[in-house]
Structure 1
Amino acid sequence: MKALVNPDLYRPIVRIIDDEETVRNSEAFTLRVVGLETACYATAEEFLEKDDLRYPGCIILDVRMPGMSGPELQQEINKRGIDLPIIFLSAHGNIGLAVDTLKRGAKDFYEKPVEPEKLRETAARLVEENLQARRKQYETQRLHAQYEALTNRERMILKLVAQNLSNKVIADQLQIQEHTVKIHRGNACHKLNIRTALEVHQFLTRIGELD
């Protein structure tokens, strides 16, 4: 699992990637009016080189730019596993292109000039979605780290507990004393702050240790 940082330590940023300075400035002003922080890049290459991906948010991406185009950047973003949602903007209406970018994961595709209110609403929504997704990933990673800190025996017993097996049955399967199972089970549950077999099952499912 890729190491994540606590997203709440980083203020969300809307990345604006467009080769036209007037467009970048206009979109940035539109978003800052409602309190959305922005970062502007003139090229896709500049974004890839300089952007700090620890900051959650979203991307407003022009289709046609010198060098790497918007769709080409989208493919690179997907290749690198960058989770920032994309809003495409294009001065040239192209249904086929819009469909292709949406199939590759873009969230919206608008023709320029886009209505300021629509841009603000979409950007704010995607910023919040990205922030919530990162919070969920971060919490899952935190819980998984707690699980990995358990002993091998504790992890083994928890997986059997998740099957709703009794201490006696677990002891028979592992060929150990039932009292030993109780001790390991109690220690593991205490470390994870869970108690019941149902909670164990839910915990292991959440961190991907159960199908």
Structure 2
Amino acid sequence: MVAGMTWLADTRTSYDTVAVQYSDQVRNSPTENPYVRSTLALFADLVSGGPVADVGCGPGHVTAHLRKLGLDAFGIDLSPGMVDVARREYPDTRFAIGSMTDLPLADASLGGLITWWSLIHVPAEELPGVFAHFRRVLRPGGTLLVGFHEGDRINRKTQGYGGLPMNVHVHLHPVARMRTWLTAAGFAVESETVLTPADKAPAAIVFAR
């Protein structure tokens, strides 16, 4: 169990530390993997209009890709270091510092929201509140895309990108549990996909409205 809200401070500090190295590693990932590329294209097709928030945007690579697909996308991240990198890499895109536990967006202000492997450090007991925020800021019929590690365990990560120190817990969840949380928050789950690469943990992708 991650005590109190110290996980937020640990996550912020850890990603401030590795921001540049992480950006170097993931910069081209939206186009390199065909499953990721097709998923993001489908998301762009499903969003019926309005701004799109990339919550937990990291160095902004997915946000920028979504803009290339025609979406009015902007990014929010907990880590000031990640936001600084994103602003340097993609100066024509809007990025802001913020937490998904207290999302700084108006009610029903979004046509779409994506959280692309940015829930993985959130303790399970905090996720219902996070999904309630997502539901609050999405317009009726708005599209939600969630990407996460599939499984049923918690790993501690003490070393990260470039061998730099980190102190975060990585939470893996079964798809059925994620569906339960989303349904309880008022979402209708429309699609669930699990990718099983040979060299990595299974990756789950869920679309909901």
Under a length normalisation based on structure 1, what TM-score does the superposition of the two structures give? 0.36
**Greater helix percent: which structure?**
1
**Greater strand percent: which structure?**
2
Under a length normalisation based on structure 2, what TM-score does the superposition of the two structures give? 0.36
